[in-house]
Amino acid sequence: MLIGNGMTDKNYNFEYFMNRAYALNRDKVKCRCCGRWLYTGTLYTHRINQQLPINKINKVSNLASMDKGCFELVKNATANISNLETETRKKIESFRKHRNTEGLKEFAEKKNQETIEKVNKTIDKLKRSRTKKINFKIVAEEAGVSKATLYNNDILKECIMSLRAIEKGVFNGDIVTTPKDKIQAKDDKIKQLYEVIKKLKDDKQNLIVQLVEMEEIKDENKR
């Protein structure tokens, strides 16, 4: 039945179908945009933040009940909604804005991750070559990025500064000799930085969920 309706995505799990019923009850069986009753016809449920992980994307706080018309208008950001009532238009624009913002955030995060991976490969290459110092100027030139990019990215900045500190005093001519304990210290530092990245991402997702819940409370207070 789900395959027949095109719901083959892993996000259409048991939690989704259970919680959209709770969301409908919370929304008083009305469309969150136009306020129409949803007693008849197919129920459409919009995921407010579509970038959340599987364990959060189908929470009640992230679901909004809508009729087919409003659901399609939220999905199609270029559709004309100027003829709609002011309150309905504002709500559709709000859902659209959140959807577009998350898309931009996802793109920015992807580009940032790509930059980190490219610079890390460059640093590994420089370490293997053992013929050049590792500093912001050389890394930027070799990776094809600006020095500002390296300075503005806390992870890359910390990594390069740590490597510079390790190399300081042991650079001899064209050969770099790095003691094993310093290499281990560098590897431990990089591992810690990746753990910090993971924690920051988790904190970000939690903040998004809290913001969504706050928006829902504000909507409830307006009714």
> pLDDT tens digits, the chain, 223 residues: what are they?
333 344 557 888 889 999 999 999 999 999 999 999 998 777 899 998 887 888 888 999 999 999 999 999 998 888 999 999 999 999 999 888 876 555 556 666 777 788 888 888 888 888 887 777 788 888 888 888 888 888 888 888 888 888 777 766 544 444 444 556 666 777 778 888 888 887 887 777 777 777 777 776 766 666 5
pLDDT of residue 2: 39
Whole-angstrom distance, CA of residue 216 vs CA of residue 192? 37
pLDDT of residue 220: 64
Please report, for residues 96, 103, 110, 115, 182, the alpha-carbon distance to residue 138 in angstroms, rounded to integers and kept in the order given: 43, 33, 24, 16, 21
Q: Can you give the pTM of this predicted structure? A: 0.45
Q: Which helix (H) or strand (E) holds 97?
A: helix 86-129
Whole-angstrom distance, CA of residue 216 vs CA of residue 222? 10
Burial class (CB in 10 A: 0-12, 13-18, 19+), 108: exposed
What token pair was written down for 199? 């924690």
Whole-angstrom distance, CA of residue 170 vs CA of residue 153? 27
**CB half-sphere exposure, 213, CA atoms < 13 A:** 11
Which DSSP symbol is given to 12? S
DSSP codes of every residue in 37-63 = B-SSS--EEEES-TTS-TTTTTSGGGE
pLDDT of residue 168: 66
Backbone angle region of 85, left / alpha / beta, with phi > 0 → left and psi within -120 to 50 → alpha: beta
pLDDT of residue 101: 57
pLDDT of residue 74: 92
pLDDT of residue 174: 44
